[in-house]
Amino acid sequence: MTENEEIIEMTQEYGAKNYDPLKVVISEAEGVWVKDVDGNKYMDMLSAYSAVSHGHCHPEVVKVLKEQADRVTLTSRAFMNDQLGSFYKKVSDITGKDKVLPMNSGTEAVETAIKAARRWGYFEKGVPEGEAKIIVCENNFHGRSTTVISFSTREKYRKGYGPFTPGFEVVPFGDIEALEESIDENTVGFLMEPMQGEGGIVVPPTGYLTEAKELCEKKDVLFIADEIQTGLGRTGKMFACDWEDVDPDIYILGKALSAGVYPVSAIAADKEVMDVFDPGSHGSTFGGNPLGVAAAKRAIEVIEEEDFVENSLEMGRYMRKQLKKIDSPLIEDVRGRGLFIGVELKEKARPYSEALMEKGVLVKDTKGTVLRFAPPLIITKDQIDWALERVRKVLKEE
Ligand SMILES: Cc1ncc(COP(=O)(O)O)c(C=O)c1O
């Protein structure tokens, strides 16, 4: 048995079966490249579902992480630490929001936004206790906690996990009339992805974000943008909401916030919303720990210094254009924004992600038939060409 096979066997024997990864065992990574235990090189075109937007092991972020690890890693929020205030300030600067609440995973940040919206509804809007409603979109993905899957529309994520959390209503993504009809006097928030990721890379119809935000403002409902995957340059703007100059009431951030070196997530909102939290009402032992937030601060600076947003926009345009030129009977659609691209196939995409892996390109299928391309935002044109050559071969079955 090779080392590769041994690791696969051990991982499968001792691990729960909640994932079905491609059979590539990564042991090293740098920039857009990863290496498996046998020394084979692959280009990472998934970037850990957009968490490694900076490329693997970005030297500036890793340096800060190492230095911070030697100083202090965890204080809990029982005490203060010298890194958190300046992290808040950085997130406040990029979002334009007054205040920030740090968590770890994306799901926790979504839960935090739900709590914020409900409290705001009860304390500020005057919704009767226990009656708050949050509107979400069909085909959403906001994480895996019991509350969050309560409003998922995918059976796979919900099966066998009930009873579910009440207080959510689902409307079709992109349908402004349905949103308007759904809003009632107890509606506290509209939680949405400004571009759906796990749902198959779905760009909303032009004007939808603007109209939804206007409607929320008119009806006194919080517009909550889950930018965990779309934020921080992924779609060719700092935030996907920027495509329509929409300023959400709550931003939810995660993934690339710490360049993929440590789990850091957060929500950002103005005082009117964030001040609903008082001591003891919410928290997390690791949320806001100095190791994570020191890395995240540097990660945000790197996004600005290295102009990820512009590169994502330009390289994304180029890549989509080239993908559209591939003349293959397999391709149904090519769509996306920035370096967040979906190639919808006429059949199951998994065999094609396996074939691409054989050729040295790592992507993952999503929603069954969609190949999702979300390379690190540092990717160059030459590197995209290298990948496209292989994509062409696989999709044209050469
Ligand atoms: C839009 C969105 N929200 C929330 C999450 C959940 O984040 P995490 O897996 O870090 O809990 C994801 C993860 O893919 C996501 O894409």
For the segment 182-226, what is each residue's pLDDT rounded down to a tens digit?
A: 999 999 999 999 999 999 999 999 999 999 999 999 999 999 999
**Residues 136-153: pLDDT tens digits?**
999 999 999 999 999 999
Q: How confident is the model at residue 164 (pLDDT cuts 50, 70, 90)?
A: very high
Residues facing residue 342 across a β-bridge: 335, 372
Residue 2: pLDDT band by 50, 70, 90 thresholds? Answer: confident
Ligand 1 pocket check: which of 53, 140, 229, 252 to mutate, most ligand atoms within 8 Å of Cβ? 229
Using a pLDDT cut of 70, give the percent of the chain over it: 100
Answer yes or no: is the C-beta of 365 below 6 A from any ligand 1 atom. no
The rounded percent of the chain whose pLDDT value lies above 90 is: 98
* 280 close to 273: Cβ distance less than 8 angstroms: no
Which of the listed residues 107, 224, 262 should we mutate to test ligand 1's pocket, taking the one with most ligand atoms within 8 A of CB? 107
End-to-end CA separation in angstroms for the chain: 31
Which pLDDT band, with edges at 50, 70 and 90, does 1 fall under?
A: confident
In angstroms, the CA 311 to CA 339 distance is 9
In terms of C-beta distances under 8 Å and separation of at least 24 residues, what long-range contacts does 179-185 make, across chains too? 179/135, 179/212, 179/215, 180/215, 182/135, 183/135, 183/215, 183/219, 183/221, 184/133, 185/127
Distance between CA atoms of residues 199 and 185, nearest Å: 29
The Cα–Cα gap between 384 and 20 comes to 27
**What gap in Å lies between CA 32 and CA 70, rounded to an integer?**
28
Q: What angle do CA 201, 189, 87 make, to 5 degrees?
A: 75
pLDDT tens-digit map of 290-312:
999 999 999 999 999 999 999 99
- Residue 52's pLDDT is what? 98
Query: What tokens does 328 get?
Result: 């293959």
For ligand 1, what atom is nearest to the CA of residue 108?
11
Residues 331-350, buried b or exposed e (16+ Cβ, 10 A)? beebbbbbbbbbbbbeeebb
Question: 327 C-alpha to center of ligand 1: Å?
Answer: 33
Output the CA 253–ligand 1 centroid distance in Å. Answer: 9
What residues are annotated to the active site? Answer: 141, 226, 255
Closest by alpha carbon to 266, among 120, 111, 139, 162?
111
Question: How many C-beta neighbours within 10 Å does residue 245 have?
Answer: 10
Going from the C-alpha of 104 to that of each of 46, 215, 284, 375, the distances in angstroms are 21, 31, 8, 23
Give the model's pLDDT for residue 279: 98
Residue-wise pLDDT for 88-129, tens only, equals 999 999 999 999 999 999 999 999 999 999 999 999 999 999
pLDDT tens profile 226-266: 999 999 999 999 999 999 999 999 999 999 999 999 999 99
All domains of the chain, ordered by start, with CATH?
A: 3-57+307-395 (3.90.1150.10), 59-305 (3.40.640.10)
Distance 39 CA to ligand 1 centre (A): 31
CB of 369 sitting under 6 A from ligand 1: no
Alpha carbon distance 373, 390 (integer Å): 13
pLDDT, mean over the chain: 97
- Residues 196, 201, 202, CA angle at the centre, nearest 5°? 60
**Average of per-residue pLDDT across 149-160:** 97
What tokens does 99 get? Answer: 């205040």
